[in-house]
Structure 1
């Protein structure tokens, strides 16, 4: 993860190292492995801006959602909290699987529940190229932007590539990432950041041990 001034950290600073939309979404919590971790999705607007940054929505859709959030602030906050809850469910599922541990049934139930809510509003549509699912459903709603995150998560969970999902070896970071290395040997979410910090720490530990 990018180490930034914690008081100024925002969705524009967060490093997109997950390699997958749903993994990048789980990484919107700075220093996940610490007790004093920092939330980046502090408002519904943050959620919109993050979605815009990762190209889940376009600028017109973002503007429409921002307008609705200003009209219905309480509803916007409830959706933000739902998004955070979903994020943590996705994190726990992938994290436990990466450790070869059983996933909590409650988390699977929650993921299925959210998926079911989105499918209710989805529909089969036709265009010049044929038929396809419009999973976004009613874009007049304020929670439809959860859909592409859910799709990303479920597609990855049900693919053989799930074995490439790992957690950063820096326990303070604990971000998830998709390991695209040939032999799946990658250990850090970002070698230039967490990986380099680990190298520096090992260097100073060796120096201290040499002077004892």
Structure 2
């Protein structure tokens, strides 16, 4: 659920706007394949190119606008294409694991192995530095390699999927949507990705069914 436009140079005249409703960047990433479980029309890809990916990372608060603009100026089309393909592969592996969990199944060993590779590569790209108060792990950001976006998302996915926040993992009640989110509501009763979208849509569908005929 994002909108964007492009000019003749291949850069956006307006940044794509993502609906970040999940409560965690890793889950928002999975939601960038919109209507994942819909048969017709097919699911909608929201990360169509490296530009989309860079703006998703910016809007998720993982990089600043200045960092994103500098990266977009310096990343080649070939390298950008490689990174977006890797991010989609990371996204789909994480999706397979998380939806298996929600369905009460064990995730496939191949998906876990793929995530392990991405998580390990991201961790190996960190270096230890002194931030004035303590030692901290940090990814190389200047000059920012295109892979930085992949590493940032990999680390956030690893953070979530190895944490107790997994107990709050939920999915939208619309069977064609099933967007993921962390249920932080007081009574843990959240049912929809966004009440304005799927909540109202499903209420209208039930109303029509009840009054049909």
Q: Hey, what does 2:71 align to over in structure 1?
A: 65
Q: Hey, what does 1:52 align to over in structure 2?
A: 58
Q: Is the 1:44–1:80 Cα contact (8 Å) retained in structure 2?
A: yes
Q: Hey, what does 1:15 align to over in structure 2?
A: 19
Aligned mate of 1:41, from 47, 50, 53: 47
User: Partners of 2:118 and 2:19 in 1: how far apart?
Assistant: 27
Question: 1:42-191 alignment to 2 at 5 Å?
Answer: 42-69=48-75, 72-136=76-140, 139-191=143-195
- Give the unaligned 5+ runs of structure 1: none
RMSD: 2.3
Which one scores higher on RCO, CA 8 angstroms, separation ≥ 6?
1
User: Partners of 1:188 and 1:139 in 2: how far apart?
Assistant: 40
- What is the count of residue pairs matched by the alignment? 204
Q: Hey, what does 1:200 align to over in structure 2?
A: 204
Find the residue that maps to 2:165 and give its secondary structure.
Answer: helix
- CA pair 156-140 structure 1, distance change in 2 beyond 3 A: closer
Q: Is the 2:121–2:151 Cα contact (8 Å) retained in structure 1?
A: no
Q: Is the 2:83–2:150 Cα contact (8 Å) retained in structure 1?
A: no
- CA pair 191-94 structure 1, distance change in 2 beyond 3 A: same
After superposing on structure 2, the runs of 4+ consecutive aligned residues of structure 1 that deviate more than 4 Å are 4-8, 136-139
Q: Is the 2:168–2:184 Cα contact (8 Å) retained in structure 1?
A: yes
- CA pair 77-176 structure 1, distance change in 2 beyond 3 A: same
Q: Is the 2:26–2:153 Cα contact (8 Å) retained in structure 1?
A: yes
User: Partners of 1:199 and 1:45 in 2: how far apart?
Assistant: 36
- CA pair 7-171 structure 1, distance change in 2 beyond 3 A: farther
